[in-house]
Structure 1
Amino acid sequence: MNTVTLVEINEDNWYTCCQLQVSAAQAAFLEPNAISILQAKFQLTLRPYAIYYGDEMAGFLMYNTELEELDGYWVYRIMIDERFQGRGIGKVAAKLMLAEIAALPDAGKIVVGYHPTNEGAHHLYKSLGFVDEGHRFGKEMAVVKYID
C-alpha cells in the first residue's frame, strides 16, 4: 500500500516539484510551485514540503510558522498533481501538515485562504473542520480551524 509522506523541499527534489501541475481548470487558483519555493527562500518562516505517494512526488504544500492575520498560522499552498488527484492524497497530506502546525507555539487556530469558486479547496477544507466566519482578503476568502 502506498503511504503519503511529507518531505521538505531540498536540492534533490525542488526541480521535480516545479514540474508538478494541477488541471487547466485549477491553474487560475494557484501560484506555480516554483514561485512558492522561491518565496520560501526569502520568507524564512515558510515551510515548503513535497507530498509523496509511495516513492512518487504527488504534490506540494507550504505553511507559515509565524502567526499572521487573524492570529493564526496560515496554510499558503496545497496542490496535488493532476495525475494523482481523486485518491485522497491531498486530505492525508493536509492532516499531516495540520498536525505539524498544531504543535507550533500558541497554535490556537489555522487559517487558509482560497478563491470562493475553488470547489475542490472548499470541500477539502470543510472536511478538515475549517469554518467560514466571513473573513475576506482581496479576492480570497479565509477559513479557520480551531486547535483543541
Structure 2
Amino acid sequence: MKTEKIRLKELNLDNWYECCQLEVSENQKAFLEANSVSIAQSKFEPTLKPYAIYLEDKMVGFLMYNTVLEELDGYWVYRIMVDEKFQGKGIGKKATELMIAEIAKLPDAQKIIAGYHPDNVGAHHLYSSLGFIDNGDRFGKEMAVVKYMNR
C-alpha cells in the first residue's frame, strides 16, 4: 500500500455523513465512540478539529484532535479510527503522522497526549510506534500516553 496517498480533509457538509458510515471491527467497538458522536461533540466544542482520512479519493477513516492545551499541558488526540475494511495497511499510522504535523503548528506544541483503554492493543501499538510514552497517567478507565515534540 502506498501510504503517501493518504491525506486528511476537514469534515464538512459534503462528507460528514459518509464518515458516520465507517465502522471498526466488532472487537474494537468497545473502545471507541461512534463517529457520529465525535462529530456532534465537535459542533459543541469548536476547538475540536474533525478530519476524514482519505486513501486517494476514498474515505477510509476519521480522526479528531483539540486545538487548545488541556490536561498534562498538551494537545489531545480525541479520536482516530480506520474502517475495518482498510485496517492493517499502515493507514492509521500515516494519518496519525499527518495529524502530529498539524498539531506541531499550534502554539506551544510541546506535547501531544492520546488516551485509550489499556486493553486496546491496536492503539498501544500505534502510539508506541510513533514515540508516545506511558508516564503512568490515568484518566478514569483510560491511560494517557505522551509524545514530546522537542525530543
Distance 2:146 2:129 in 1: 12
- The residue type equivalent to 2:117 in the other structure is H
- The residue type equivalent to 1:139 in the other structure is K
Distance 1:56 1:87 in 2: 14
- Structure 1 residue 34: deviation in Å? 0.2
2:42 match: 40
Report percent identity of matched pairs.
Answer: 70
2:78 match: 76
- The residue type equivalent to 1:130 in the other structure is F
1:58 match: 60
- Structure 1 residue 138: deviation in Å? 0.3
1:28 match: 30
Ranges in structure 2 where 5+ consecutive residues have no aligned partner: none
Distance 1:103 1:127 in 2: 22
- Could you list the per-position Cα deviations for residues 108-134 of structure 1 after superposition, in whole angstroms to 9, with x for gaps in the alignment? 100000000000000000000000000
- The residue type equivalent to 1:124 in the other structure is L
Which runs of structure 1 show a deviation greater than 3 angstroms over 4 or more consecutive aligned residues? none
Distance 1:53 1:32 in 2: 21
TM-score with structure 1 setting the length = 0.99
Q: Which residue among 67, 90, 96 is the counterpart of 1:88?
A: 90
Distance 2:105 2:117 in 1: 27
- Structure 1 residue 98: deviation in Å? 0.2
TM-score with structure 2 setting the length = 0.97
1:132 match: 134
| SS of corresponding position for 1:116 | coil
Ranges in structure 1 where 5+ consecutive residues have no aligned partner: none
Distance 2:56 2:93 in 1: 15
- Could you list the per-position Cα deviations for residues 56-93 of structure 1 after superposition, in whole angstroms to 9, with x for gaps in the alignment? 00000000000000000000000000000010000000
- The residue type equivalent to 1:81 in the other structure is D
- The residue type equivalent to 2:129 in the other structure is S
Distance 2:93 2:101 in 1: 12
